[in-house]
Structure 1
Amino acid sequence: MQFGRFRIGLRTMKTAMAVMLIIIIFYFFKRPPFVAALASVFALRESWDKTLSFAKIRLMSNLVGGILALIYFLVHAYTHNATWVSMFFLPFLVIIAIVFLDGFNFNSGVIGALAALLMISLSIPAGATVLYVIDRIIDTFIGVIMAIAVNRFASPDPQN
């Protein structure tokens, strides 16, 4: 659909569909949909092939960001929520994520890894347990899987 210089394309509709499905599913499971919805937006690409190809990078970046968020949580809890952990240790973990992904030539996954790391780390509620962090890591994978599924089944041609 075209409205002057603005258009609503298939990728826009598929992105909205992935977000909608995540919100609906997470509503019934009483889980916060934020992390999964954002992960699906990051992962969905203009074609099935590009989404599938990018999904491998996105899954690796989610894993890196999630593991570093778990390390952040453990250090933060161990230091009794010391402020310096957020101010200095978390930026150090950002460096670790960038260097690691760059070293393995996953440069296109850096933003996704940092998004996962920061979304999880900076939204941990007081009194949360390790299970909270693990749930958010799982949410990032659910978001990527949803993007893959929507892009596969909502395309008029499997190659698109």
Structure 2
Amino acid sequence: MQFGRFRIGLRTLKTALAVMIIITAFYFFHRPPFIAALASVFALRESWDKTLSFAKIRLVSNTVGGLLALIYFLVHAQTHNATWVSMIFLPLLVIIAIVFLDGFNFNSGVIGALAALLMISLNIPAGATVLYVIDRIIDTFIGVLVSIGVNRFASPKPKR
């Protein structure tokens, strides 16, 4: 649909559908949908092939960001929530994520990894356990998987 300079395309509708599915499912499971919804938006691309290709990168980058967030959590908890861990150690983890992904030629996954790392690390509530961090890592994977599913089943079939 076109409204002057503005249009609503299939990718826009698929993105909204993926976010709706996540918010609805997470509501019933009493989970915060933010990280999964954002991971889904990052992963959804204009075609099935591009989504599948990018999903591989997102899964690797989510793994890197999530594992570094877990390390952050453990160090932060071990130091009794010392402020320097957020100010100094977290930026060092950002460097590690960039260098690692660049070294393995996953440059297009850097932003996703940093988004996962920072979203999880900077939103850990007081008194959270390792399980909270693991749940948020799982949420990023759920978001990517929902995007793959929506793009697979909500895309028009190619003409032969």
Which TM-score tier does this pair reach, normalised by the shorter chain?
over 0.9
Match of 1:78 in 2: 78
> Are residue 94 (structure 1) and residue 94 (structure 2) matched?
yes
Q: Deviations over 1:51-93 (max 9, x none)?
A: 0000000000000000000000000000000000000000000
Gaps of 5+ in 2: none
Quote how far apart the aligned CAs of 1:148 are.
0.2
Map 1:3-152 → 2, pairs under 5 A = 3-152=3-152
For 1:95 and 1:158, how far apart are their aligned partners in 2? 42
For 1:132 and 1:79, how far apart are their aligned partners in 2? 18
TM-score (normalised: structure 1) = 0.98
Q: Deviations over 1:133-159 (max 9, x none)?
A: 000000000000000000000011269
For 2:45 and 2:92, how far apart are their aligned partners in 1? 30
Quote how far apart the aligned CAs of 1:24 are.
0.2
Q: Deviations over 1:87-137 (max 9, x none)?
A: 000000000000000000000000000000000000000000000000000
Q: Is the 8 A contact 1:42 1:112 kept in 2?
A: yes
For 1:50 and 1:41, how far apart are their aligned partners in 2? 14
For 1:6 and 1:82, how far apart are their aligned partners in 2? 48
For 1:157 and 1:55, how far apart are their aligned partners in 2? 20
One-letter code of the match for 1:85? Answer: V
Cα RMSD of the aligned pairs, angstroms, is: 0.9
For 1:130 and 1:8, how far apart are their aligned partners in 2? 41
For 2:137 and 2:2, how far apart are their aligned partners in 1? 38
* Runs of 4+ with deviation above 2 angstroms: none
TM-score (normalised: structure 2) = 0.98
Aligned length: 159
